[in-house]
Structure 1
């Protein structure tokens, strides 16, 4: 199982490893830290190494400089945050350690889905839900619309506006089903056909009349589908 640590623990672990590698004492680090505005005792350095110190940017900068002075070997912010596992930046933002280290080494902050814990699972869940919805749509449509080019269906879905959103909710169908029905019935989207019938200068009353008429046509088509009519 991939390990996970809060960011303060990661910083503390790396700071301790760096200090012990050089045989440097806690008091040496505390004394060096006071030169950079941190009023630290050996206890505060211990808090840092135990992961009990907030990892603000000013603190990290001062710690990196203090550790470098005390040990004689410079340490970067990337070194302080390096971790081969998941790092909890906050309770809902959990990132791969190498992604954080990369960002702090000067690389642009451009996280991928695999770099954030939970995102890939959510993407997979969303995809599964989409596949289930497509299966339901195909079961409803049967062979109706099977001759329609996929790109045309996608185009009509992309052009969908407020009217289409309202109709999908009212008729309890997906955007995909509405696009297929619209193309088969009218050869265009619902909105385009409504505007064509009503006319360019139509008032709200006329557009409403046309909308109601077209919804009835959609309902009849759905009823035919439910009966299995060709």
Structure 2
């Protein structure tokens, strides 16, 4: 398989419409129209219900018509579960209270997956590309629900896989940025700079951006340079290409 670039915009929904627009312009300018995925949140933190945002649902359909792959990205994107042990560490240190599917039971995870899928597929008028948990974090219940679903693709920090068969379709870390504190910003800038020199050997390079990235000029600059570095060496592909 030729080397590929997979790009994604996370946390897409009416709460972050202006930030998403900026990211669409940024990625589209480097990769071409529709050459990225969107991870759509049905109701971000219970503050932005997609079901009540007809205009934004129409925009999602327009992007899908341009070729953008649409993933179901949780339901609330907010973690409201109690955790202990290693799960508690992940909840505290790997995300800012956004690992929604880290502590859900299988039944509850399955319900939110199904409800999110129905809402998003109705908006875009076609099948969703797959399911990706908020913050890329999956607890046992979420993994069991995902394995029992018929989503064709899923992704975490280190891989893309087919939940139906368990087959791993791509391996390697996601390049992403963190905006919520200066230390995290500096760390993500350093990782992105390393990726621009050290990650070109990966068969599949994955780069993900978030609405909050647009609030920090240094991150926006790093995102542009990182996408340009990879786009010079490999085509921007679709996640569905991994299944061919």
TM score, norm. by length of structure 2: 0.21
Higher percent of residues as strand: 2
TM-score, with length taken from structure 1: 0.22
Bigger relative contact order, structure 1 or 2, given CA contacts below 8 A and separation 6+?
2
